[in-house]
A = this chain, B = another copy of it.
Amino acid sequence: MKNFFLAFSLVIILISCTDSKTKPTIIQTVNKTDSTTIKQIFNSALTNGQCYQWLDVLSNDIGGRLSGSPQAQQAVEWGEKLLTDLDFDKVWLQPVMVPHWVRGEKEEASFTVNNSTFNVPICALGGSIATPENGVTGEVIEVQSLDEAEALGEKLKGKIVFFNRPFDDTHIKTFRAYGGCVGQRVNGAKISGKFGVLGVIVRSMTHNIDDYPHTGTMSYGDLSEQEKVPTAAISTKAANLLSEHLKENPDLKFSFKQSCKTLPDAPSFNVIGEIKGSEFPDKYIVVGGHLDSWDIGDGAHDDGAGIVQSIEVARLLKLNNIKPKHTIRVVLFMNEENGLRGGKKYAEEAKNNNETHVAALESDSGGFTPRGFSFDKSGENHELFKSWKSLLAPYGLHDINIGGSGADIGPLKDGSISLFGYRPDSQRYFDYHHAETDTFDKVNKRELELGAASMTSLVYLLDTYLN
């Protein structure tokens, strides 16, 4: 039926020119079947969507699912069963060894000024070592950057280093604000550790001034065991309070305690479902998100949303009787948050098996209202992708531009594959990202469904126009 429509559909040719003297250049052929198909995809997502109900299960019944945890294993089993129930042509688990870090018991922090004690909301960063059982206590040196810490050098010795550069609120796209700060979290300990510091605390990565600490991965780089120090995030409200008090009382003592540890690597899996392509069965289009999440929320936006949207893509294709030419693989990647082992393993296996990957799309920016897609500057067909704007704009997808794609699909980059990231509105993302507030109730059903429909539409276009 689809081919029938294709054959007889009206082709509208859009013409553009930069000035009146140049010849018209055909930049786009917009097929009426495309706009009809995309409308059908959105209609079915909004009236017959399943992804919101799936996310309810993943978030509320399974919950936070850090790599190596029992919940991560439950998520693997849930994903495998769901893909199987949805009647994919093939469903399998791809084994991968993952880091296994555990948070341990209660984390606590405080500082005292003039006999008044202020409790500080704190959480260990993923990968950090524990404090000694009684915690660490010391004077604090506040810095705004890795460079500032590096420059202070030996003056940091015996201190707790406090990285406190806030988000730059003037960025309209909040990922830019995150990008401008997250180095403090990832590399703060690596930079400070070599100077004999007691510990590292980092201002949480959020615009919000509130009481929630935001966790996330950190790295010791190639520090020796002796140089590694406990590292944690504190809430933005506490960071502001501490900073204020430090101005008046630079000698105040800060204490924190955490009992996290890294266990031996654990076995886990990427979960993969496949719809066989009708024309190019040996050429693959991947759509995915990451199945693991941080432990302190339930990972609804990061990245439960991307998981259920990716599965919904396959379901919406089937529901609308769209039979892809390429083989479509839905990949639920394991371990994006603290190792990227799943993404690396998938790419490694794809290479070992000489698989040709034409395109990959990741959703890992939350389940918010659609804004667009970004594509990696490597690969080809940029003008083709941009020409799809007129098809996608009616659904709020105006930003179709060069940019990042997704961490898990990044290892597939080979110069020719087209790598895409789904880009929903980013204003609320860092309210919840890696915090205990990332929970199912923060996800709006229609926004999630619109995202799934957007992704399905892009996969449909990639499948239709790429070879």
Contacts and interface: CB of A to CB of B under 8 A. Distances in A.
Contacts of A444: 427-428, 431
Interface residues of A, number: 35
Interface in A421-450: 425, 427-428, 431, 444-447, 450
Given A42-B172, A369-B425, A431-B444, A398 B394 contact: no
Contacts of A23: 20
Contacts of A396: 172, 371, 425
A101 B431 CA distance: 39
Interface string A11-33: 00001011111111000000000
Contact of A42 (B17, B42, B170): B170
Main secondary structure of the interface of A (DSSP, over half): loop
Contacts of A445: 207-208
Contacts of A431: 444
Given A369-B369, A425-B369, A446 B169 contact: yes
A367 to B, nearest CB: 11
Contacts of A427: 369, 444, 446-447, 450
Contact of A19 (B15, B398, B425): B15
Copies of this polypeptide in the complex: 2
A43 interface: yes
A21 B19 CA distance: 10
A150 to B, nearest CB: 28
A8 B47 CA distance: 55
A402 interface: no
A78 interface: no
A211 to B, nearest CB: 14
Contacts of A208: 445
A175 interface: no
A172 B42 CA distance: 9
Given A20-B22, A46-B169, A425-B369, A207 B446 contact: yes
A195 interface: no
A113 to B, nearest CB: 27
Contacts of A43: 170
A393 B389 CA distance: 14
A312 to B, nearest CB: 15
A215 B22 CA distance: 59
A174 B371 CA distance: 16
A404 to B, nearest CB: 18
A391 B22 CA distance: 26
Contacts of A17: 17, 19-20
A18 B13 CA distance: 12
Interface string A301-334: 0000000000000000000000000000000000
A416 to B, nearest CB: 31
B447 A428 contact: yes
B398 A398 contact: yes
A446 B450 CA distance: 22
Nearest to A394: B172
A400 to B, nearest CB: 12
Contact of A172 (B20, B24, B172, B395): B395
Given A20-B23, A172-B396, A427-B444, 15 more contacts: A15-B18, A20-B22, A20-B24, A42-B170, A43-B170, A46-B169, A47-B169, A174-B446, A207-B446, A371-B396, A398-B398, A425-B425, A427-B450, A428-B446, A431-B444
28 contacts: A17-B17, A17-B19, A17-B20, A19-B24, A20-B21, A20-B22, A20-B23, A20-B24, A43-B170, A46-B170, A47-B170, A169-B446, A172-B395, A174-B446, A207-B445, A208-B445, A369-B369, A369-B425, A371-B396, A396-B425, A398-B398, A427-B444, A427-B446, A427-B447, A427-B450, A428-B444, A428-B447, A431-B444
